[in-house]
């Protein structure tokens, strides 16, 4: 027996695992995505997301509890509608809400009275009250008063086998107490714990704080890398030593920068919203600057390592933002490649999980003058390259034991 009909807008890294989780416990779920390629693949049992296997997807298709669609028709019959669309930043580092606004406008006129509308898309504190509610008021004859609106920001960490969608606590905050309770009851059908907050703005703020915390602490370690290198100390060993303290410290590690859909983006939403209030957040601004400058430092170290060579092919090993993924959103490898070109080298790339990388040429046994590991991907030929004498700078710490590989 179905628990009810649910429409999930966006079938990417957030929306698809959510849709499958809800379908697994008995919700009648339609996953909506505007990509015909994505929808066609999903309805054939082909998953494009590492956290959802083809077997799992096919099982939900066969059960009848899940199907994908490229139209919004299912919203008309759904008691719950969840927005899981991207909220990136523009080239000018401003919030890009066009996908979110478009999604809300599409569903606003279709939602049945009494529906629960949940936004999982990460955005600034006040998105529900300043963007979503006004659209409902504009487009609905009932001015949106019949719709319960809730913020429940996603907490997906792709390929994390310890903390999954089920056992990672959910935060839920609505416009009304009754809406918050409805949201909590929904998530408790497939999540172990739900934490209620007093408003949608608190929920939105909490998500930004989580990833700003990571941005700032990663920046602290990245800022110490040049100093540690100059005095001959391995910063990763320092972090490991500090981590033996059982309280007051959390380990964060250096790298070529930060990537993905959260850490480089979420603090920008927080900064932008603060600026609207006439406030500066210099600590967060500096953290963003430190991490965004790391690709330049990586290239500087690599160029110093291969002196006096001033031109040639340099290989970037691992261009996804995270090990085990094919996701290149906001990957620091892009900035490393751009900087290599800027100083006169030709960047090549190799990543078994990535099909295309911003138009750069992939590696196919070309002669190399150097290489850098940005992301430690499975079966990366770092050891084989090192044996040929190619100078390699490892930004990940994964190849510390390989002879001839220098650590960041």
Q: Give catalytic residues, as residue numbers.
A: 262
* 191-198 contacts, C-beta under 8 A, 24 or more apart: 191/21, 191/165, 191/166, 191/167, 192/166, 192/167, 193/167, 193/169, 194/169, 194/170, 195/169, 195/170, 195/171, 196/172, 197/171, 197/172, 197/173, 198/173
159 Cβ contact partners less than 8 Å away, ≥ 6 residues apart: 50, 51, 322, 323, 324, 325
3-state secondary structure of 223: helix
| Phi, psi torsion values for 42, nearest 5 degrees | -60, -45
3-state secondary structure of 118: strand
**CA–CA separation, 381 and 139 (whole Å):** 56
**CA–CA separation, 360 and 93 (whole Å):** 24
Q: Which of 150, 156, 154 is nearest to 172 (CA)?
A: 150
Q: Which of 297, 349, 355 is nearest to 326 (CA)?
A: 355
| Phi, psi torsion values for 67, nearest 5 degrees | -155, 155
Answer for the pair 256, 213: CB distance below 8 angstroms, yes or no.
no
To 10 degrees, what angle do helices 200-230 and 266-276 make?
A: 120
Q: Which of 219, 397, 215, 408 is nearest to 298 (CA)?
A: 408
| Phi, psi torsion values for 223, nearest 5 degrees | -65, -25
């Amino acid at each position: 027996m179905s628990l009810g009909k649910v429409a999930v807008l966006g079938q990417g890294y957030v929306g698809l695992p959510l849709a499958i989780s809800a379908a697994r416990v008995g919700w009648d779920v339609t996953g909506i995505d505007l990509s015909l390629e994505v929808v066609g693949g999903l309805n054939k049992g082909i998953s494009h997301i590492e956290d959802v296997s083809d077997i799992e997807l096919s099982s939900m298709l066969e059960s009848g509890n899940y199907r994908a669609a490229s139209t919004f028709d299912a919203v008309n019959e759904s008691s719950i509608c969840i927005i899981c669309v991207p909220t990136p930043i523009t080239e000018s580092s401003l919030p890009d809400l066009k996908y979110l606004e478009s999604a809300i406008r599409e569903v606003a006129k279709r939602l049945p009275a009494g529906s629960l509308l949940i936004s999982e898309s990460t955005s600034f504190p006040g998105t529900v009250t300043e963007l979503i509610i006004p659209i409902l008021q504009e487009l609905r004859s009932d001015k949106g008063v019949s719709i319960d609106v809730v913020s429940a920001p996603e907490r997906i960490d792709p390929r994390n086998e310890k903390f999954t969608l089920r056992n990672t606590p959910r935060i839920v905050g609505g416009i009304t107490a009754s809406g918050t309770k409805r949201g909590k009851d929904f998530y408790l059908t497939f999540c172990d714990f739900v934490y209620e907050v007093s408003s949608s703005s608190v929920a939105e703020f909490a998500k930004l704080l989580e990833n700003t915390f990571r941005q700032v602490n990663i920046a602290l370690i990245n800022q110490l890398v040049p100093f540690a290198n100059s005095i001959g100390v391995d910063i990763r060993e320092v972090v490991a030593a500090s981590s033996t303290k059982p309280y007051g410290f959390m380990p964060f590690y250096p790298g070529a920068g930060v990537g993905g859909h959260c850490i480089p983006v979420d603090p920008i939403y927080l900064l932008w919203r603060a600026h609207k209030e006439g406030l500066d957040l210099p600590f967060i601004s500096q953290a963003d600057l430190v991490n965004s400058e790391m690709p330049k430092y990586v290239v500087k170290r690599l160029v110093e390592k291969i002196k006096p060579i001033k031109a040639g092919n340099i290989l970037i090993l691992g261009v996804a933002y995270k090990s085990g993924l094919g996701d290149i959103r906001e990957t620091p490898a892009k900035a490393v490649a751009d900087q290599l070109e800027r100083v006169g080298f030709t960047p090549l790339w190799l990543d078994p999980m990535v099909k295309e990388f911003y138009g750069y040429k992939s590696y196919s046994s070309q002669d190399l003058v150097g290489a850098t590991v940005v992301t430690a991907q499975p079966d990366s030929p770092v050891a084989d390259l090192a044996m040929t004498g190619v100078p390699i700078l490892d930004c990940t710490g994964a190849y510390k034991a390989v002879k001839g590989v220098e650590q960041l």
